[in-house]
Amino acid sequence: VWIVPNLLFNRVAFIGIGLIGSSMAKRMLKEGMAKELVACSRSSDTRQKALDLGLVSKTYEDPAKAVKGADLVVIATPVGSYSDIAQSIASVIDLNTIITDVGSVKKAVVDSVKPYLQFPNKFVPGHPIAGTEFSGPEAGFSELFEGRWTILTPDMQTDEEAVNKIICMWEGMGSKVEIMSSEHHDMVLAITSHLPHLIAYTIVGTATELEEDLRREVMKYSASGFRDFTRIAASDPIMWRDIFLNNKEATLDVLQRFSEDLTVLQKAIRRSDGEALEDLFSRTRAVRRDILEL
């Protein structure tokens, strides 16, 4: 009998096979982590692409049909769709099925999935801190998670064996794994990811409101500053709509702090307080150095 050392699952069902789902599928195939991969997606176009790319062997329109017989279900759709998905798969999931997800917010995800599950202790919420501004199955690549963090937010009731299996899966995909509470995750991500996206959306939005001539010049002379923001602001609109709607509290909290700090900067400029500006810019430069070292 051949024993495949990396084999973790028999049948993995992806609900949503876009950038994240397809990257996971590619890496799972490469590592031989599962005997069979299947996927559910709304549009026939995405289902066909997933088959053409050789990511999965079968596709389904109905989530309930996709998860039948799966020992791992990965929810990888925008978080606003989670509650409907949880309701439609709940009755088909059995005791041996582990459910995980990749959503960018965690508290709202737990609240919209767990109440519907017959075996909520088998739900291991997760979030790979890796991505690009591109979407869809053709955007995925197997190295996406290499060297990046994945945060898992199980609670006291979560089955330990299920958590360990999900840790093995992410480590097998090259990721480093950290465990924290869903509330803490949402606060950390509000600062490191959600606020920067909101700022980028605002800056690029402001530029598009400018009168025609000025706007053309912004595009023409966009150097690294504006250009970097446009990359972030090109991220998927639906995904980011759902992130802000589902991480309201933490986002509004960091946004309040940000507005206060912005007012301080405004005041420093008005008063020609060069010392205050230089002091802040030196501190922020040190943050960049620390991040690169990390």
Closer to ligand NAP by Cβ: residue 42 or 216: 42
Q: Between 36 and 236, whose beta carbon lies closer to ligand NAP?
A: 236
b (16+ CB within 10 A) / e for 153-187: bbeeebbeebbebbbebbebbbbebeeeebeebbb
Cβ-based nearer residue to ligand NAP, 136 or 172: 136
Q: How many residues bind ligand NAP (CB under 6 A)?
A: 25
- CB-nearer residue toward ligand NAP: 195 or 239: 239
Q: Which is nearer to ligand NAP, 219 or 234 (CB)?
A: 234
Taking CB under 6 A as the criterion, the residue among 13, 21, 125, 190 binding ligand NAP is: 21
Tokens of 66: 């996709």
Q: Which is nearer to ligand NAP, 178 or 261 (CB)?
A: 178
Please give the distance of CA 124 from its chain centroid, rounded to a whole number: 15
CA atoms within 13 A on the CB side of 151: 19
Segment contacting ligand NAP by CB under 6 A, of 72-80, 110-118, 165-173, 216-224: 72-80
Give the x/- contact pattern for ligand NAP in 131-170, rule: CB under 6 A: x---xx----------------------------------
Tell me the backbone φ, ψ of residue 69, rounded to 5 degrees. 80, 5
Site for ligand NAP contains 172 (CB under 6 A) = no
Q: Hey, which residues between 35 and 54 contact ligand NAP (CB under 6 A)?
A: 41-43, 46
Query: Any idea what the Cα angle at residue 88 is, between residues 84 and 93, rounded to 5°?
Result: 130
Stretch 89-128: interaction string toward ligand NAP, x if CB under 6 A: -------------xxx----------------------xx
| Inter-residue contact 125 to 110 (CB < 8 Å) | yes
Percentage helix, strand, coil for the chain under 3-state DSSP, each rounded to 5: 55, 15, 30
User: Which residue do the tokens 């060297």 mark?
Assistant: 147
Q: What is the Cα–Cα distance from 48 to 68, expressed in whole angstroms?
A: 20
User: In the bound complex, what is the minimum distance in angstroms from residue 194's beta carbon to ligand NAP?
Assistant: 11
Q: Least distance in Å: CB of 280 to ligand NAP?
A: 29
Reference 39, options 31, 18, 131, 88; nearest CA is 18
The H-or-E segment that residue 199 falls in is: helix 195-209
- What is residue 37's three-state secondary structure? strand
* Least spacing, CB of residue 72 vs ligand NAP, in Å: 16
Residues that bind ligand NAP (CB under 6 A): 16-21, 41-43, 46, 76-79, 81, 102-104, 127-128, 131, 135-136, 236, 239
